[in-house]
Structure 1
Amino acid sequence: MTSEPDIVIIGAGAAGIGAARRLAGSGLSVMIIEALARTGGRAWTHPTPLGPLDLGCGWLHTAEHNPWVGIADQANFPVERRASAWGRQFRNLGFSPAEQQAAGEAFEAWNRQLAEHPPHSDRASDALDLQSPWTAYIQAISGFINGDETERISAQDYSAYDEASSDNNWRLPQGYGALITSSLPAETELHLDTPLVAVDLNDTRVSLETTVGHLRPHAVIFTASTNVLASDTIRWPSELDAWRDAAKRLPLGHNEKLFIEITGSNTFEPETHVLGDPKDAATGSYYIRPFGYHVIECYLGGAGARAAAAEGTDAAFAHAIDQLVALFGSSVRGCLRPLIASDWAHSATIRGAYSHALPGEAEARSNLARPYDDRIFFAGEATHRSYFSTAHGAYLSGIRAADEAVAVLGRKKR
């Protein structure tokens, strides 16, 4: 391990890999340290006999502006550009066309209210129509998008994302996590299973204590999650209190995935989708046989994901299968078998899904993105003003932090 590299990147997720790609060929010595035994962070494609399954990010959101699309094309990584079944209720099971239209109109009315007449409280729930029968539906969608319910979401922050994003959400048959992890430059010095223990700023260089030794880089690019930055897992110097405070205002939401194997004869058609119960804020969203794989992907957000974390994986699978049985009939129960599940809430080096700003705290993203003393630079999805909660927002933030570090080190070396 090089003890005094020019730059140490903390975290080998999409932001860290983005920074490393930007720094490749810069002439600077660059090292990544990663607490996990793998790269990718919240991007994780898990290989299974049924196909590669993304336990973390799985959609190339706002694909026309997503840099991972170009990276995939350059690497001959297949991209599925056709529209998905997301948002269409297969055979209108448990959700009639009239109900789907009413629920969609209620959600769009809430979006318009946030954008055109945002509440003075900046609390997204204050834009809800309390007379609407579709509040639970909106809460469920908020859980999928934000990882939390509308009471804990900044209206300004949500609208910034909504305005910047599009409905062009593409997919990667080989896995988003697989693309991200394969994109790390080969020349980058990488150390896995290397948690950061402490940061010290009482020197011209930054002192980093890890579980395998000390490092003294000129600059650090910190890309770990806001929940890690806000926690006491790492010993932080008081000089970074303002950044840790900003991180607390940008907590990670709750999102989990369950994959259910489909066995035997069944009626499940490839590339279809159902919402389990549109009047339940904790409902699962079920993508059936993506890419033809014999699996059902259950996506949980907000209340549903919190329940899965609290009650355990077995209970989460049981609830998901019950919802599917309620829609497709009791005959499918014997065809459904738990396969694999995420557990982001209990991952000690991540501690959740992706960030949302608390009401009144949208500016925390800019505060978190500020460099400290031309030595520590912050990246990660939470630092992007409009593409937060996405892998491409993380990637772009890594590029931004790398450019900041290069500019500073270039001045110091002149």
Structure 2
Amino acid sequence: MPGDIDVAVVGAGAAGLATARRLAERRPDLTVLVLEARDRPGGRAHTVEPPDLDAPLDLGCSWLHGAESNPWLPIAEGLGLTVDRTPAPWSGQYRDLGFPPEDRRAYREAAAAFDERRAAAEVDPVDRPLGALLEPGGPWNGRLDAASTYYSGAGLAEISVHDAARYRVRGSDWRVVEGYGHAVVRFGADVPVALDTPVTRVDHGGAAMIRLETPRGTLRARAAVVTVSTGVLAAGAIRFDPPLPDKVEAAQSVPMGLANKVFLRLAAPDELPKDGHLIGEPRSARTGAYHLRPFGRPVIEGYFGGGLARDLEEAGDAEAEAFALDELAGLLGSGFRRRARLLVRTRWGRDAYVRGSYAYARPGAADRRAVLAAPVGGRLIFAGEATSPDAFTTARGAYESGRRAADEVLGQLGGGRA
């Protein structure tokens, strides 16, 4: 540890890197260090390149949501990366397998009616779960619930209507060909980061400096920005002195949902279309969404959310592979099982440094995001996608929260160095 610095940032994900970059841009005289528990930067933005594939895969965030106004769009292109503007394939079903056009029309009508009920509930002063807005016995309730698990990591019964109403990301969904994770890491390439340095205790009770304890020693900083997930905060993985019960309660009220991916390697990729799409069981809440040959690569990207994602995470590789192959074989024919194999899968819920995928608010807890974001004593600042008022669950929200946190630090520090 370098001893005394101006600003310590806890976490080298999109929020932490954005904080450090903005501090460097606005005040290059400040000494800033990012403390990262993992052996890599990027956090939930993580691109890998399996040796037998020769192509990058995004294990975490992969879509530039609301791309036209997403700050990561100019960042990625400024880094020389390629943004693919092909429309997301989610509304289609390859060859209408198991989900014919008349059923898709019926589902769209059910979704539109659900949205009308949600719009009415959003202005009701009493919050409620989104699941309360489902049509009793509605034939497409399972499909609506499955979609919720994909974008929130939790089912409709678990999510606040008022919180969902505040999400304001609109526009196209585009991708970074070289990987969203690579974009985030390259964005932070010039940021000083101490890897393998988990923060275990933050002592913010002193009059002058905040003390951050790590297995590699103790760091003293004039200000600190904490960007860890609500899963980490709720578990007490970082001890705060004095304690911060309001932060812990808020983190428990805005818990981590779960969405995981299973990538299957195709033996005969040409039999499937580039950027095709399949839903395994359109009427079920426990089903996968399958992106066929993204970018034309010889893989299928399976996506699972909510309770199904948790069950498959606990079950193991063989069970996760079998579930995906069973759903796909039910649509593509039993012989498909012999033409695909597991390449890699994610387990974000078992990652001790995040404990989930992204944060949703429970019914009645929409205001807890502001509690999470509120500074403590002026010098201890909080950021991360969970603190975003209107772009939560996204790398965009994480980035914007990091910029906000940096500005709060600059408003407190004034001039001078440590």
Q: TM-score range by the shorter chain?
A: over 0.9
Could you tell me whether the CA contact under 8 Å between 2:204 and 2:240 is conserved in 1?
no
Runs of 4 or more, structure 1, over 3 Å off, are: 118-121
Greater strand percent: which structure?
2
Could you tell me whether the CA contact under 8 Å between 1:206 and 1:216 is conserved in 2?
yes
Aligned residues: 410
Whether 1:373 aligns to 2:372 is: no
Structure 1 segment 8-407 matched on structure 2, within 5 A: 8-25=8-25, 26=27, 27-48=29-50, 49-50=52-53, 51-118=55-122, 120-161=126-167, 164-186=168-190, 188-203=191-206, 204-264=208-268, 267-407=271-411
Whether 1:7 aligns to 2:7 is: yes
Could you tell me whether the CA contact under 8 Å between 1:62 and 1:166 is conserved in 2?
yes
Q: What SS does the aligned partner of 1:209 have?
A: strand
Query: Structure 2, unaligned stretches of length 5 or more?
Result: none
Q: What SS does the aligned partner of 2:107 have?
A: helix
Q: What SS does the aligned partner of 1:117 have?
A: helix
Q: Deviations over 1:192-243 (max 9, x none)?
A: 0001111112312111110100001000010010010111222222442211
Q: Which amino acid aligns with 2:187?
A: S
Query: Structure 1, unaligned stretches of length 5 or more?
Result: none
Q: Which amino acid aligns with 1:207?
A: R
Counterpart-to-counterpart distance in 1, 2:67 and 2:344? 27
Q: What SS does the aligned partner of 2:244 have?
A: helix
Counterpart-to-counterpart distance in 2, 1:108 and 1:310? 35
Q: Which amino acid aligns with 2:96?
A: N
Deviation of 1:265 (Å): 6.5
Give the direction of change, closer, same or farther, for the CA distance of 1:265–1:380 in structure 2 (3 Å limit).
Answer: closer
Q: Deviations over 1:260-310 (max 9, x none)?
A: 000137621111001111112110000000011100000011122112122
Counterpart-to-counterpart distance in 1, 2:37 and 2:334? 44
Deviation of 1:389 (Å): 0.2
RMSD: 1.4
Q: Which amino acid aligns with 1:160?
A: R
Q: What SS does the aligned partner of 1:21 have?
A: helix
Between 1:67-76 and 1:392-401, the stretch displaced more is 67-76
User: TM-score with structure 1 length normalisation?
Assistant: 0.96
Counterpart-to-counterpart distance in 2, 1:133 and 1:218? 57
Counterpart-to-counterpart distance in 1, 2:60 and 2:134? 30
Counterpart-to-counterpart distance in 2, 1:155 and 1:265? 42
Q: What SS does the aligned partner of 1:84 have?
A: coil
User: Identity of counterpart residues, as a percentage?
Assistant: 40
Give the direction of change, closer, same or farther, for the CA distance of 1:341–1:321 in structure 2 (3 Å limit).
Answer: same
